[in-house]
A and B are shown apart, each in its own frame.
Chain A
Amino acid sequence: MLNLFCPICLRDCDETELSCGGQAHLIRRDHASSDKDFYEYLYERKNDKGIIFERWRHVYGCGKWFHIARCTLTNQVFGSYSAKEVQPPKSILATIRRSRVDFKGWVK
């Protein structure tokens, strides 16, 4: 069972209280975008084996979205941050680097 910190309620929540919203920091496209951009937004996912940044929603709590950094192989969680961030904050990247020396940083 994953146990994630909700940065809005400021408390730890079990996986059963939450719902995963997939890859974070996607660039939202609309009808004015090119077909290629829209396809990327709608379907293409990084699906990395390793560190990922993803969206979660505290459905059975405050109902708000937030972001986390997690390793998909070990399920180690490196911290939560606000859904308003357009890219992972430096503090989270530093936390990841402390336990993963080979971490190359966030790729768009």
Chain B
Amino acid sequence: MKRYSLSSIFTEAFRDNLGWEKAWTKRQPKKEYQIIIVGGGGHGLATAYYLAKNFNITDIAVIEKGWIGGGNTGRNTTIIRSNYLQESSIGIYEKSRFLYETLSQDLNYNIMFSPRGVLMLCQTEHELRAMKRTSHANRVNGVDTKMVGPEEVKEIVPIININGPRFPVLGALWQPRGGTARHDAVAWGYARKCSDFGIDIIEQCEVIGVKKKRDKIVGVETTKGNIKAKKVCFVAAGHSSVLADLAGFRLPIESVALQALVSEPIKPIIDCVVMANTVHGYLSQSDKGELVIGGGADGYNNYSQRGSFLHIEETVRALVETFPVISRLRQLRQWGGIVDMTGDRSPIISKTPVDGLYINCGWGTGGFKAIPGSGWATAEMIYNEQPGKLASPFSIDRFSEGRLIDESAAAAVAH
């Protein structure tokens, strides 16, 4: 693989950019691999990447039903933060945020990580109290966040209306090291580096069956033929239940459509990420000038990748009240993704009832921020055949054992 560098840009500029290679090679499946990762989104590719980088395993296939970056990795609002409440969540999300800081250098691919700061507004007394608790939990666990008052919020985001009327801003939880990154670039960067390691990236290949021998996995059946493997990991987000069904077990997961939209591009008006959890809306401005807006998830299970219009209306209505300046903007695009919700809003990184089959799912409405950390922890679990320190709290047993990791207050999405 040719390295991207200043000199490579110069060289290519003088020969009509004819020397650039394809970022990753599209492969056809071989008969057998050591490990198969089902799902070529950020989490799947990161898992394959850290298996190769940290454990020197490259006999891996990453199977993707559609195309790389076409699922939730390319459908989110690109927010990166780690201001969670529970110790185990902070562990994995902070690891992830930390890895994001140097990911561009690590992957030799500009993921445009922009630590512009994340502001989580408190618009009710209860939310203020909950966020104060979160900020203390963050401080105890070494996450750099602090509470700021309404005046400071106004200083950070001059376009905000802090006086209500319905939901005045009472304060906010400020994580200056949080921010955004280019979501497609994260998927492409991981794919390019995986391909460089010799990992096979197989697109347009759907898993339609799971091959088992006495409760042990021996391979998968795909639309491009049968592939054998000693270990398989499902990293399929919203479609995890469909895959689990093929493998013969059920998951504590429900899939719903979550939507986002962008406005027409305008001059820079906001230089951080603002999340308003009470009214269910969040806002940031992309480098192209579009306001990136996320909102509520649908209230019922579906796989439609569209979402209900009423949720867009709800989100925009709330944001117009908080940011009156955006009231005349027009919507440019709207899209939906299928998110996998668990009961406690925390992910599942776990072994399964099938020997040799692992699963990474349940990231719900906030998976993008966790991509590097999740890949790191999942790779560790697959290599050691048991979850490590980062992943062990997120095992599937936690539901039956009653040790839920309640993060319903940490998510900004209505669910």
Q: Which residues of A contact B (CB under 8 A)?
A: 1-2, 15-16, 19-20, 22, 35-36, 39-40, 42-49, 52, 54, 72-75
Contacts and interface: CB of A to CB of B under 8 A. Distances in A.
A26 B306 CA distance: 28
B386 interface: no
B380 interface: no
Contacts of A72: 255, 301-304
A20 B251 contact: no
A45 B253 contact: yes
Interface size class of B (residues with CB under 8 A): 20 to 34
Contacts of B254: 22, 45, 47
Given A19-B299, A42-B399, A45-B254, 18 more contacts: A2-B308, A15-B299, A20-B299, A20-B301, A22-B301, A35-B400, A43-B343, A43-B399, A43-B400, A45-B252, A45-B253, A47-B251, A49-B255, A49-B303, A72-B301, A72-B303, A73-B302, A74-B304
A45 B241 CA distance: 9
Interface string B295-325: 0000111111000111000000000000000
Contacts of B241: 45-49
A35 to B, nearest CB: 6
A25 to B, nearest CB: 15
B156 interface: no
Nearest to A21: B300
Nearest to A68: B300
Contacts of B308: 1-2, 15
Given A20-B299, A52-B301, A39 B250 contact: no
18 contacts: A1-B310, A2-B300, A2-B308, A20-B299, A35-B400, A42-B399, A43-B252, A45-B253, A45-B254, A46-B241, A46-B250, A47-B251, A47-B253, A48-B241, A49-B241, A49-B303, A52-B301, A54-B301
